[in-house]
């Protein structure tokens, strides 16, 4: 099968599974040649619904192209509108950045930050080959966001974070949306937050599995487990501290409201 046919098959399966829900996400996944961003694997593997390894360090995978299912779910969570200014943390292969660029279109802009200089370079090259003009690839620690292109309408983190870096919060426009995989004790969840003044309110929560975010955000004091997170829903209010496990079943139906107090998560409150 050629690339186009493999891509059509991939999109068809994601649609049939209900993973792709919007025409915009469908169009983006149809348009961007995934194989061009992961040139070291066979074409069939590039379009299989799997994670594609990109880079390891000291025996640990530090970069991979996410599974198409995961990518589609997170893009649906992000709800990009044409013309959005978008910040991505964790460029990796550049594939997701190309999808974001397609979603926001020529009137929007994508800034994507990658810690590994070689990956940023390769992604930049692949994006240029594909002809994506509205993306800036930045080499650096995404813990600080990228103030130069902000404030952003949308922010997406594609590595698992232990906390929400203050910079992501500050660079997100009021009413904007942040999608971030968070390690919540034993489980990982991709959470879409909407900024509502000084609050971040969760709009959706899904299962995920990501490589760990590195850099300074990974070394916050609460990374050691010394943090409190409050989870609120209509019927219950759960606070998890330190190593107390959060029941994933509770999490799935909880609304999470975060209020920033210095760099520490606190306070959940019920939506009125």
Active centre residues (catalytic) = 63
Which residues of this protein are in contact with ligand SAH, per CB under 6 A? 62-66, 89-90, 92-93, 95-96, 113-116, 119, 141-143, 158-159, 211, 213-215, 217
In the complex, what is the shortest distance from the CB of residue 104 to ligand SAH, in angstroms, rounded to a whole number?
A: 15
Establish how many alpha carbons lie within 13 A of residue 236's alpha carbon, considering only the half-sphere containing its beta carbon: 11
Residue with smaller CB distance to ligand SAH, 114 or 153: 114
Cα separation, 25 vs 22, whole angstroms:
6
Shortest distance, CB of residue 173 to ligand SAH, whole angstroms? 21
Question: In whole angstroms, how close is the CB of 243 to ligand SAH at the nearest point?
Answer: 23
Least Å distance, CB 117 to ligand SAH, is 10
SS3 for the chain is CCHHHHHHHHHHHHHHCCCCCCHHHHHHHHHCCHHHHCCCCCHHHHCCCCCEEEEEECCEEEEEECCHHHHHHHHHHHCCCCCCEEEEECCCCCHHHHHHHHHHCCCCEEEEEECCHHHHHHHHHHHHHHCCCCEEEEECCHHHCCHHHCCEEEEEECCEECCCCHHHHHCEEEEEEEEEEEEECCEEEEEEEEEECCEEEEEEEEECCCCECCCHHHHCHHHHCCCEEEEECCCCEEEEECCCCCCHHHHHHCECEEEEECCEEECCCCCC
Calculate Rg over the CA atoms of the chain.
18
Q: How far is the CB of 110 from ligand SAH (least distance, A)?
A: 11
């Amino acid at each position: 099968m050629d690339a186009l046919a493999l891509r059509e098959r991939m999109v068809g399966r994601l649609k049939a599974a209900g993973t792709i829900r919007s025409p915009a996400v469908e169009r983006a996944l149809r348009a961007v040649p995934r194989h061009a961003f992961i040139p070291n694997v066979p074409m069939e593997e590039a379009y299989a619904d799997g994670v594609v390894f990109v880079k390891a360090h000291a025996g640990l995978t530090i970069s991979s192209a996410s599974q198409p299912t995961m990518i589609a779910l997170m893009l649906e969570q992000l709800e990009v509108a044409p013309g959005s200014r978008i910040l991505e943390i964790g460029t990796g292969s550049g594939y997701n950045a190309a999808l974001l660029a397609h979603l926001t279109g020529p009137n929007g802009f994508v800034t994507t930050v990658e810690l590994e200089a070689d990956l940023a370079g390769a992604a930049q090259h692949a994006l240029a080959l594909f002809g994506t003009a509205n993306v800036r690839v930045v080499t650096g620690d995404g813990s600080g966001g990228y103030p130069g292109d902000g404030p952003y309408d949308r922010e997406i983190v594609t590595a698992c974070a232990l906390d929400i870096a203050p910079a992501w919060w500050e660079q997100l426009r009021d009413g904007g949306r942040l999608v971030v995989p968070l390690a919540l004790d034993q489980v990982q969840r991709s959470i879409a937050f909407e900024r509502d003044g000084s609050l971040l309110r969760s709009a959706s929560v899904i299962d995920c599995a990501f490589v760990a975010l590195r850099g300074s955000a990974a070394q916050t004091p609460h990374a050691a487990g010394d943090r409190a997170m409050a989870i609120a829903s209509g019927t219950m209010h759960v606070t998890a501290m330190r190593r107390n496990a959060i029941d994933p079943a509770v999490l799935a139906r909880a609304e999470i409201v975060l209020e920033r107090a210095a760099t520490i998560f606190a306070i959940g409150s019920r939506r009125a």
